[in-house]
Chain A
Amino acid sequence: MLDVAFLSSGKLISSFKELPVVWPLTATVLGDVYLLLLASVILACFLIGICLTFKYIPYLLTDFRNASSGEIPELALKLWLAFLVVFPILLDAGPLWYVLWWFILFWGYTNRAERHFAVVFVVLVMLSGWIAHVGGGLVTITKANASKEIFLAEHGFESARDIEVLSSWVRTHAGDAEPMNALAMAEIKRKNFTEAVTLLNQTSNIEPTNARFYNHMGIALAGIGKYKEALTAFTNAAAIDSKSVIYLYNISKVYLATYNIYEAEQAINRASAIDPERTSALLSQEQKDKKVRFIMEAVPTVKLLARQMRPSEELRAAADELWYIPFGILKRGHAVWLGLAALILLYLLGHVPSEKYTKICDRCGNSFYVGTTSKQGHPMCLQCNWLDVKSKKHVNTILQHKLEEIKAYRIANRQRTSKMELILPGLGSLIANRTSRGIGWLFILSAALIMAVTGGGFMHVFFPTDMDIRIYVRLAGLAIIGLMYWRAYKSPPIRLGA
């Protein structure tokens, strides 16, 4: 009795029964992590945009007032300001359009770190088309590129419908070898060895260096009793992938089938020399099952994951939707142009004289129009800049007065930003020009919120598993949020005396 077993090309694991779930589970976990990351980044960017809007709206209102010279009523100014800030709401715009617009609107007010973040964001916008493509590939695990059918056929769970899909795919995609191989494996299991050989001949023509195809060809040929040809096929496979013990193991089985015990032992010895542990495991399994069998190889998980990313109608539709949710208005293909246009616009805005924008001194809180920036890139009025560079030893009454002003602002700013940090961790830090901390916190908070709300379970493992960690993910998300609030309480953005 000659049997066929399935083995992934990965490391041998203790139970063969665990192997078939590798790809669906891996792909789904990857998909969930990817979607969790995407959702977190979108939410974080949106929250950062809201925080910056909250921070810079008073500046913009001041400049509106200055520009209107008191001729336009305050209400009209505020209405126009509100319109300008939220005008994407009147378009088919997703949250990231708002963020992009806010960066453009408040560019003249932003500090160095915020500008760096804005540029990173615009680069992400440029890449968003491809990012959505990868997301689409992960999401369409069951629909696109016949990957699911390949997996089911290779592992013996194919339905008639799956075979039909595979056959149809093979007819329409003559250059795609994997579905043919999967179909051949299904044929082998049905003992339709001749059909399998026909299919595997095609696969070997398409990918002449794929050892797996030669291996399966060998099994199919052995099935119809062509041991000599089978031996050649296995030998070809072993020549292509000399580190695989499976092909040597299968060679030994051909020799056994032809009662060539010595050659069979030689093949096993060669296999043991390459990977004794694995060879021993294969032999133990053979003894345990009391069956002599050939080993077939499933498509490696990485290859199936790569296959998921191949362009297809389903993937395109899913990727378009994934892009459309945070963006909209334009098509996914325009992402690069959108990012480029935004970069050019920001570059041009960078040439508007900085004295056109109201700035608030990070030290004393006074508004100014010329000023300078501190080493950290924070806005600083000329007085504070001068105080900063002068010797601290010579403090007289005049300077004392200014230093008192700075101290009073620092205390007031600390109270204000601490409260804001407790409302939304990260908001106070951004207001206090602790930009890196603010952005970091908002990213963590966003990820925690998404974890708590979704449990990280966007997708479903199409092959049923006993594993459901959503509750743990939710609890982890809630714990992170709790920790962040505790940290915001214990460590305010501005420390006195620092």
Chain B
Amino acid sequence: MALLGTLKGFGVTEIFQLISQQMKTGSLVLTSQNAKVVIAFMDGMIQGLTSDKWEMDPRADILLKGGFINEKELKAAFENEKKNQAQWHEILISKGKLQQTFLDKATQVVIRTTLLDVFQWGEGIYRFEDWDLNTEGFLTCNLPTEAVILDTLRSIDEWPLIKPKIPPVEYCPVTITPLTEEHVRIYDLSGVDTHIFDLIDGDKSVEMVVRESLETPYDALHAFVRLMDAGLVEVFPRGAKDQRAVSLAKVTFLRYLKVAAVYASLILCITALLLVGNPRVFHLFNAPTLKAQFQDQRQLAERYATLGITPSALGKDTYGR
């Protein structure tokens, strides 16, 4: 055992950094109240991870929910695992039921989502075992640790901005206008943003689009927020999708109303303040008392000067008796 401690004293970032800098090979076991995650490192690079929360391969669930495989084929593949001496995904790929690209993307989603979660653990314990690496049962990958750290930190930094704007996942997103290169340039849209936009067909819910995208929930929801902020996409309750035209008209009306309210409230505030605020710019403040004081000093000085009293004449300090 090379390293052991609590996450309160030594954060996940620091542990990852240490392993990366020392180019260590071994397993990092992170345990919190809710889960236990084991991350495999080789020469400081992340080679894979596993979690005790996974009852089956989490990629299967992602691919299933994303519609990339169907339940029947998946079940058959699981059943044939022992018989074929191959894993479920290998069986599906060999049968042409699954593309390797989708599997890789699902792997990325699982790994990045798990790491994002782990990086936000405030409490727990860690244990790094630097003996022979055994990645059996792990989701394998080959990720530079520092890139993962930087990506995750960026996500944590931006999350408070995205979180309050995330639409209800059961809502249906609708594209308002076709996406052009101009839009991509003006709103600085990324590949993920355009991918999400392309998946919106008016029928799928936000949740469905996220699953189909095979992006991490963070990236997909971030893209949604960006598209909605740019006015390229709007979301409606599922029940209202049939009355989309009405909903759109209502939304447009409400938007105009909101804009009108914004301008009206501004004018109202300015008018009210002008009426009751007694703005200084209208009565340019003068200081009569101060002016009078300064004027009095000047007049006195002039008077004494005309009387011929100057500092050099201030010697009349005696009297005869």
Contact = CB atoms under 8 A, between A and B. Distances in A.
Interface string B295-315: 011101110110001111111
A236 B200 CA distance: 104
Q: Assign chain B's interface to a size class.
A: 35 or more
B278 A92 contact: yes
Given A70-B231, A394-B21, A462 B297 contact: yes
Interface string B113-157: 000000000000000000000000000000010110110011011
B249 interface: no
Interface residues of A, number: 87
Contacts of A90: 270, 273-274, 277, 279
Given A83-B270, A462-B301, A464-B309, A390 B290 contact: no
B300 A383 contact: no
Contacts, number: 211
Contacts of B270: 83, 90
B184 interface: no
A318 B150 CA distance: 61
B289 A321 contact: yes
Contact of B319 (A3, A73, A355, A383): A3
Interface of A: 1-6, 16-21, 28, 65-66, 69-73, 76, 79-80, 83, 87, 89-94, 139-143, 148, 155-157, 188-189, 191, 223, 289, 291, 293, 314, 317-318, 320-322, 324-325, 328, 353, 355-356, 358, 366, 368-371, 381-383, 386, 389-391, 393-394, 396, 398-399, 402, 458-466
A142 B297 contact: yes
A71 B280 contact: no
The 7 nearest A-B residue pairs measured at CB: A355-B160, A90-B273, A382-B153, A368-B157, A460-B297, A462-B300, A369-B160
Contacts of B185: none
16 contacts: A16-B317, A19-B314, A90-B274, A91-B277, A91-B279, A92-B277, A143-B293, A157-B314, A291-B318, A317-B289, A325-B285, A369-B157, A386-B13, A386-B153, A459-B294, A463-B311
Nearest to A467: B311
Q: Is the interface of B mostly helix, strand, loop or mixed?
A: helix
Nearest to B279: A90
Contacts of B288: 321
Interface in B241-282: 255, 258-259, 262-263, 266, 269-270, 273-274, 277-281
Q: Is the interface of A mostly helix, strand, loop or mixed?
A: mixed
A94 B280 contact: yes
B290 A318 contact: yes
B191 interface: no
A460 B294 contact: yes
Contacts of A17: 311-315
Interface in B16-35: 17, 20-21
B160 A21 contact: no
Interface centre among A71, A83, A465 (most CB of B within 10 A): A71
B259 to A, nearest CB: 6
